[in-house]
Structure 1
Amino acid sequence: MAGVFEPYGLSHGVVAVVFVAVSALLLIFRSAWTSRVLAIVIVAVQLPFQIHTMLPGQWDIAYSLPLQLCDLALIAAVWALWTHSPGASALTYYWGLTLTAQALLTPAYRGPDFPDWQFLMFWGIHLFTMWAAVHLTWGAGVRPDWRGYRLTLGVTAVWMVITLGFNAVAGANYGFLNAKPSGSVLDLFGPWPLYLVVAALLLAGVWALMTAPFTRSSR
């Protein structure tokens, strides 16, 4: 029986090594078919987990719906990998390399450790999204621009408004919009709802910095 996952423990360290190793392989062995193969792998691995969370005995309206921004980022990643859509690629890039990456730096997961399905689902969602962002941006050459930046800001704002309302009605906390997880970077941003404002402004600034180098080089 798996123990409980411990942030910065052995399994966390293995996950970090796997992330770096696979990212390097995606950049070294890139080809015309890598994007679609990665999209197929993501669906094949993650879809059964998502279906499992909706089965009787697992279903919980507060946890089972794919309303976390990381869930939406993975959906965008699959679409971007299959089509190289600039919009979906932008969402994958900005969400994947900032918000999703927080799981690797300050994981909020406190469930069973490897090889439990919850462990595999949690890290699959986050690692696959980050790998997709790395591949699309530096492997497939789908680079961010200011149009994608504005799109991501708009979609994120709409998601926040809808999810805040849903959380209030359902008694949920998708996106940590209604309460902070313990031990996260949000602890630095003050109480609710101040931390939401600070996080939104910080993201807008960080995403702008993530856009500027590509737009300068294109000019």
Structure 2
Amino acid sequence: MESAFEMFSAVHISSIITLCLLILLLFFSRKRLSIQHQKVHLIERFFGLTLFIIDGCYYIWLVQTGRWDWGNSLPFELCSISLIVTIVLLWTGNKKLYPFVFYAGIGGAIQAVATPVLDINFPHFRFFHFFYTHFGIILTALYFTWVKGYRPTFKGVIQTMITLNILLPFLVAINFLVEGNYMFLREKPRGGSLLDLLGPYPWYILSLEFVAFIVFICLWFFFKENKEVNNDII
């Protein structure tokens, strides 16, 4: 029988600690990886392929278990969109995709890892899918920053905010058509999340815009001063 996931349980805390350890491992391995160009290129594509496969298996699982629903199974959540862009970035290295993965990807995935909207616990496939894909987004953004030399810019902050706001009306329309709640534009997650701190509907959506901008600015400020890599990016 499937056990329910509990926020801030031992399993959840262990997952957060695992992410922190992986980030530290990537950081301390950055110089060694940066000089192995051909090898890391293969790693990038392989990692992108694993993200694609596990996410594809997730949608197959939804269909096979009768969980598929137009209102919550389409890849229109922020992290679902970020995952798609992350996979393309890993396969192409397209510099134009980096700002979205860095800002929206890290911002959304960290919030998701901190307060997961997840109903099935370890060791179920869905548990591994959730954390593997969200870890993948964060680690990919940091990898392209620390290893590949891509640098976040203030221009990237603005571009990401504009992109998200362009997506907004389309997602509102999709939510209306399929009675969904993609990007939580109709209501907050019922299991509790950081959105609970941002006020009632619909004001939390406006608050979220402000919070997203502040988070993006903090990410830009924290990483922009690193002068170890001088590649001219963006």
TM-score, L = length of structure 1? 0.89
Q: CA deviation at 1:217?
A: 6.1
The structural deviation recorded for 1:113 is 0.8
Listed as ranges, the gaps of 5+ residues in structure 2 are none
Asked if 1 retains the 8 angstrom alpha-carbon contact of 2:16 and 2:114, the reply is no
Q: Which residue of 2 aligns with 1:28?
A: 28
Give 1:14's aligned amino acid. S
Query: In the alignment, is residue 181 of structure 1 matched against residue 189 of structure 2?
Result: yes
The Cα offsets for residues 106-165 of structure 1, whole Å up to 9 and x where unpaired, read as: 2222x1211222222222221111111121112222111133222211111122211111
1:25-49 Cα offsets, whole Å, 9 max, x none, are 3333434314333212222332222
Report the counterpart of residue 193 of structure 1 in structure 2: 202
Contact 1:87 1:148 (8 Å CA) reproduced:
no
Question: Would you say 1:140 and 2:148 are equivalent positions?
Answer: yes
Which residue is 1:84 aligned to? 93
After alignment, is 91-100 or 26-35 more displaced?
26-35
Structure 2 counterparts to residues 147-186 of structure 1, below 5 A? 147-182=155-190, 183-186=192-195
Shift of 1:76: 0.9
Runs of 4+ in 1 over 3 A off after TM superposition: 212-219
| Other-structure match for 2:53 | 44
In the other structure, the counterpart of 2:16 is 16
C-alpha distance in 1, partners of 2:22/2:223?
24
Q: Is the 1:2–1:116 Cα contact (8 Å) retained in structure 2? A: yes
CA distance in 2, matches of 1:217, 1:27: 13
Following the alignment from structure 1 to structure 2, what is the Cα–Cα distance between the partners of residues 28 and 214?
16
Paired position in structure 2 for 1:67: 76
Q: Which deviates the most, 63-72 or 9-18? A: 9-18
Deviations 1:16-74 (A, max 9, x none): 12212222233334343143332122223322223332457232111211111100101
**Which whole-Å CA distance do the structure 2 matches of 1:164 and 1:39 have between them?**
29
What's the offset of the Cα at 1:82? Answer: 2.0
Shift of 1:2: 3.2
- TM-score calculated relative to the size of structure 2: 0.84
- State the alpha-carbon separation in 2 of the partners of residues 51 and 135 from structure 1: 29
Structure 2 residue identity aligned to 1:166: I
Bigger shift: residues 93-102 or 39-48: 39-48
| CA 1:26–1:217: 2 relative to 1, 3 Å | closer
Counterpart for residue 204 of structure 1: 213
The secondary structure found in structure 1 opposite 2:54 is: helix
Q: Choose 68-77 or 48-57, whichever is displaced more.
A: 48-57
Contact 1:11 1:114 in 2 (8 A): yes
Question: Separation in 1 of the partners of 2:72 and 2:19?
Answer: 25
Closer/same/farther in 2, CA of residues 27 and 83 from structure 1, 3 Å limit: farther
Q: What is the Cα deviation at residue 213 of structure 1? A: 5.1
Report the AA paired with residue 204 of structure 2: Y
CA distance in 2, matches of 1:205, 1:16: 23
Please state how far the C-alpha of 1:93 moved relative to its aligned partner. Answer: 0.6
Unaligned residue ranges in structure 1 (runs of 5+): none
**What is the CA–CA distance in structure 2 between the aligned matches of 1:15 and 1:215, rounded to whole Å?**
28
Q: Structure 2 vs 1, CA of residues 45 and 25 (structure 1 numbering), >3 Å: closer, same or farther?
A: farther
How many percent identity over aligned positions? Answer: 27
Paired residues in the alignment total 218
